[in-house]
Amino acid sequence: MKFVDEFRDEALAKGLAAAIAREANPARRYSIMEFCGGHTHAIFRYGVQDLMPENVGFVHGPGCPVCVLPIGRIDNALELAEEHGVILCSYGDMLRVPASKRRSLLKAKAEGADVRMVYSVDDALRIARDNPGREVLFFAIGFETTTPPTAVALRIARAEGLKNFSVFCNHVLTPAALNHLLTAAAVDVDAFIGPSHVSSVIGSRPYEYFTETFRRPVVIAGFEPLDVMQAALMAIRQLNAGHAEVENQYIRVVTREGNLKARAIVDEVFERRESFEWRGLGAVPDSALTIREAYAAFDAEKRFSIVTRSAPDAKSCECAEILRGAKKPVDCKLFGKGCTPDSPVGSCMVSSEGACAAYWTYGRFRREAA
Amino acid sequence: MCLAIPAEIVSVNDAAETAVVALGPVRKEISIALIENAKPGEFVLVHVGYALHKVSPDEAARTIAMMREAGLDAEIAEFGEAAR
Ligand code: SF4
């Protein structure tokens, strides 16, 4: 397994760090946003930030689908589970995110609602087949990696004529969030590290628009710490040369066109929503998907006449600023006090890819190791 | 929850668009509806029960080792648990 060593090799990491130190111009700052929670995780776990010179900093972006779903949509899910008596299925982390009044789907479950954690949307289909007398609802969340499986499940449900299955669609689009960060939120970021698995599905092409429009480099990177460091070096080189291009550090998996089969299935089942609210970003145009008319029979929003109301985040919670890259978790008064992974107040403390959870887990780890 | 875990295809059911994959001792049925021409012996990245794309055996080994080292055993365990 020699590659494993190569990708975590200390000498290589030092070499990359030295190259970055050499090439980073001391007269300027480099602010690099990693969009994807997987990168946030790698940066903290391996202390990548500590290997960077003073003037190169990572900013954590909104790249965790559990973190960015606004409270109003979770309130909707709670209402469906509690008042409509459905069997509500979703991915594990989603069940733990606090909604209004610090309620969560897990709490609703403890109080008797039929809420079930599933590993795959196929598990929800199976539950629907096994319970023909009950309404089974899949609370669908996620970026472009999780969307294609939901699309396949909707095709299966239609082909089988499942009468008691529906999807509450909350799938969101990565490029739209980047676009919004650069326009409305106007974040102070010089370059982006692009997500790897998302890009493996949509390809690197969608990022070309940003580099052309906003003149910020995007370097798509794998999840290894050395991948992230190499991507940072590539971004710094582009910035120094005044370039703004999409570069692909992760050619071993990502192509320009992505997974064409997956993209075609997604297109058949979903279309763009005019606007969708993101935690931290507010309403973002064209940033999410909704179920097409051909599959309307399986659309929970239609079946249960769901109307989303905006609901405020918990008092003092800074998730919104953190997701915009405007603040760091330690800037939040509740961090590590009222809010920990065991008892989260905001969404960023729930999933292991959330910035607050990463700070908490590895910040402490680093202090102890020091 | 964005992470995907590499696993080796053991057998393929083309009609059902499913495959059995192995990750260490764990076997599990997944969907191959999102990829083309999956064959036993190939490695795929599995995310929420679906193969997202194929990867080389080296890439698979690298990713699994990285996940173990990064303390992501919970995600790997979840993969096994869902196999039942
Ligand atoms: S520490 Fe908790 S309350 Fe504060 S921003 Fe993070 S998740 Fe929100």
Nearest to A259 among B34, B59, B62 (CB): B34
CA distances from A296 to A88, A158, A166, A191 (A): 19, 10, 9, 40
Q: Would you state the torsion angle of the CA atoms of residues A145, A151, A153, A156, taken in this order, to the nearest 10 degrees?
A: -150
A336: tokens are 């590590």
Q: What is the CA radius of gyration of chain A?
A: 21
**pLDDT tens readout for residues A65-123:** 899 999 999 999 999 999 998 999 999 899 999 999 989 999 999 999 999 999 999 99
Q: Which residue's CA is the nearest one to ligand 1's atom 3?
A: A317
Question: Could you give the count of Cα atoms lying within 13 Å of B55 in the half-sphere of its Cβ?
Answer: 26
Which residues on A lie below 8 Å from B28 (Cβ)? none
The answer to whether A121 touches A90, Cβ cutoff 8 Å, is no
Q: CA A370 → CA A196, A270, A362, A364, B28, distances in Å?
A: 31, 49, 12, 10, 41
Nearest C-alpha neighbor of B84 from the set A105, A91, A118: A118
Question: What is the Cα–Cα distance from A128 to A160, expressed in whole angstroms?
Answer: 11
Burial A197-235 (b: 16+ CB within 10 A, else e): bbbbbbbbebbeebbeebebbbbbbbbbbbbbbbbbbbb
Average pLDDT over residues A303-332: 90
Q: How far is B71 from chain A (nearest CA, A)?
A: 9
A356 CB within 6 A, ligand 1: yes
Give the pLDDT of residue A196: 85
pLDDT at residue A185, rounded to an integer: 67
Give me the mean pLDDT over the A353-363 stretch. Answer: 85
pLDDT grade for A369, boundaries at 50, 70 and 90: very low
Counting ligand 1 atoms within 8 A of each CB, the residue from A60, A315, A327, A335 with the most, and so the one to mutate, is: A335
Long-range Cβ contacts of A301-308 (<8 Å, 24+ apart): A301/A168, A301/A169, A303/A166, A304/A80, A304/A84, A304/A137, A304/A166, A306/A76, A306/A80, A306/A168, A308/A72, A308/A73, A308/A76, A308/A277
Q: Phi and psi dihedrals of A274, rounded to 5? A: -60, -40
State how far the Cα of A48 lies from the Cα of B43, in Å rounded to an integer.
29
Give the confidence band of B2 by pLDDT, cuts at 50, 70, 90. low
Does pLDDT of A172 surpass 50? yes
| Amino acid present at A193 | I
B48: nearest CB among A146, A224, A262: A146
- Burial (CB < 10 A; 0-12, 13-18, 19+), residue A248, is buried
Give the mutation candidate from A12, A145, A152, A364 for the B interface (greatest B CB count, under 10 A).
Answer: A145
Kindly state the tokens that stand for A321.
Answer: 């600023």
CB A330 within 8 A of CB A346: no
> A354 near A37, Cβ under 8 Å?
yes
| Ligand 1: residue whose CA is nearest its atom 6 | A356
ipTM of the complex: 0.85
Q: How far is CA A130 from CA A72, A268, B83, in A?
A: 30, 27, 18
Task: Give residue-wise pLDDT tens across range A201-259.
Answer: 999 999 998 899 889 999 998 877 888 898 999 999 999 999 999 988 776 678 899 99
Cβ distance A247 to A192 under 8 Å?
A: no
Distance separating alpha carbons of residues A277 and A264, to the nearest angstrom: 26
Average pLDDT, chain B: 82
DSSP string computed for A59-117? EE-S--HHHHS-HHHHHHHHHHHHHS--EEEE-HHHHHS--GGG--HHHHHHTT--EEE
User: What's residue A8's pLDDT?
Assistant: 56
Provide the pLDDT for residue B69.
63
Q: Which of A327, A329, A333, A337 has the alpha carbon at shortest distance from A354?
A: A329
Contact A31, A189 (CB under 8 A): yes
Which residues are CB-contacts of A112 (< 8 A; sequence separation ≥ 6)? none
Name the minimum distance, in Å, from the CA of B2 to any CA of chain A: 7
Confidence (pLDDT) at A127: 98
Chain A residues with CB under 8 Å of B71 CB are: 45
Q: Where are the alpha helices (DSSP H) in A289-333?
A: 300-303, 319-323
Q: Do B2 and A148 touch (CB under 8 A)?
A: no
d(CA A176, CA A174): 5
Helix (H/G/I), strand (E/B), else coil: A43: helix
Asked if A344 and A104 count as a contact pair (C-beta separation under 8 A), the reply is no
Q: How far apart are CA A1 and CA A21, in angstroms?
A: 30
What confidence score (pLDDT) does residue B70 get? 57
d(CA A183, CA A280): 14
| B36 contacts on A by Cβ (under 8 Å) | 261
Dump pLDDT digits (tens) for A122-162.
999 999 999 999 999 999 999 999 999 999 999 999 999 99
Per-residue pLDDT of B15-58, as tens digits, reads 999 999 998 888 999 999 999 999 999 999 999 999 998 988 88
pLDDT tens digits, one per residue of A17-66: 999 999 999 999 999 999 888 888 888 888 888 889 999 999 888 888 89
- Cβ-Cβ contacts under 8 Å, B66 against chain A: 4, 7-8, 223-224
Give the confidence band of B73 by pLDDT, cuts at 50, 70, 90: low
Q: Which residues from chain A sit within 8 angstroms of residue B31, using beta carbons?
A: 120, 122, 149, 152
CB contact under 8 A, B34 and A92: no
Measured in whole angstroms, the distance separating CA A25 from the mean position of its chain's CA atoms is: 32
- Taking the C-alpha atoms of residue A172 and residue A190, their distance in angstroms, rounded to an integer, is 24
Please report the atom of ligand 1 found closest to the CA of residue A318.
Answer: 5
Segment 10-69 of chain B within 8 Å of chain A by CB: 30-31, 33-36, 45, 47-50, 52-53, 55-56, 58-59, 61-63, 65-66, 69
Give Cα B44 to chain centroid, integer Å: 5
